[in-house]
Amino acid sequence: MVSNPTDGSVSAEIARLQRRWVVELEQMERFHRWLDGKRVARQPCRVVGDSRTGKTIACEAYRLNHPPQLMTGRAPIVPVVYWQSPPESGNRDLFEGILTALRYQLSRGTLSEMRARVYRTLKACQVEMLMIDEAHRLRPKTFLDLQDLLDGLQITIVLVGTDRLDAVARRDEQVYYRFIGSYRYERLTSAELAETSEIWETHVLKLPQPSHLSSAKMQKILAPATNGCLGLLDRILREAAVRSLERGLPRIELNLLREVAAECR
């Protein structure tokens, strides 16, 4: 039996599975505790890890855990600002990105005027931490402005990226030593992968019947397909759950999981 994709309950469940979920795993909690230490000490740092390991979600979750405080007649207090760098980001991209993240209206101006506006805004909003994701995309001269922000405002700047970020930082001795503190966002171990699969089944997928995703036969498929990357695990399990619902299945069957996993290799 195949469910009609237009069925109300099925469509609602598929729509739910399409939304982004944040599950605070132990791995994320360890990372957040490390960030807390850097924020309190006002120390710049780097966060490095392979693609799809969950760095971006973990950073966004940290920002959400420190929400802005609205102040009547005054600038809001924004403890943590997060911005994801587009490719080949220059100084103006950086300044516009920070102001956009702070939800300030952009206006035309020279680079010097933009720089001054960013300084005033970060100070007015009492920003403690600025997180820059995909930081390996920044142009070399952009790092000079980041160093000036460190000196002028004494806030914690966190550079987040892949191993390419380390290579970029090492090209300039000043950049490397300013951001010498680093954290490695690791892939999931086999035990963590099985545990996380069970958490996803219970708290994210929520299918009518258990799929036993932490079982040996299911992990035999998931382990090589994900290679310990949380992002890939999330993608495979969500898509498998959606296909199960579309086909009228109450759980993820072994053959269906194998079908979805095969497309991600």
Question: Is the dihedral angle over the CA atoms 197, 202, 203, 208 positive or is it negative?
Answer: positive
Q: Rg (Cα) of the chain, in Å, rounded?
A: 21
Question: Is the dihedral angle over the CA atoms 212, 214, 220, 226 positive or is it negative?
Answer: positive
Average pLDDT over residues 16-39: 92
Position 265 scores a pLDDT of: 76
SS3 content of the chain, % helix, strand, coil (to 5): 55, 10, 35
Give tens-digit pLDDT for 124-181: 999 999 999 999 999 999 999 999 999 899 999 999 999 999 999 999 998 999 999 9
How far is residue 184's CA from residue 27's CA, in Å, rounded to a whole number? 11
Q: Three-class SS of residue 226?
A: helix
Q: How far is CA 148 from CA 123, 171, 185, 228, in A?
A: 14, 18, 27, 38
Give tens-digit pLDDT for 203-228: 999 999 999 999 999 999 999 999 99
Least Cα distance to 77 among 22, 114, 35, 129 occurs for: 129
Q: Which two tokens stand for residue 90?
A: 């220059």
Q: Which CATH class is domain 42-184?
A: alpha beta
Give the DSSP H or E segment for 161: strand 156-161
What does pTM read for this prediction?
A: 0.90
Residue-range domain boundaries for the chain: 8-19+188-262, 42-184
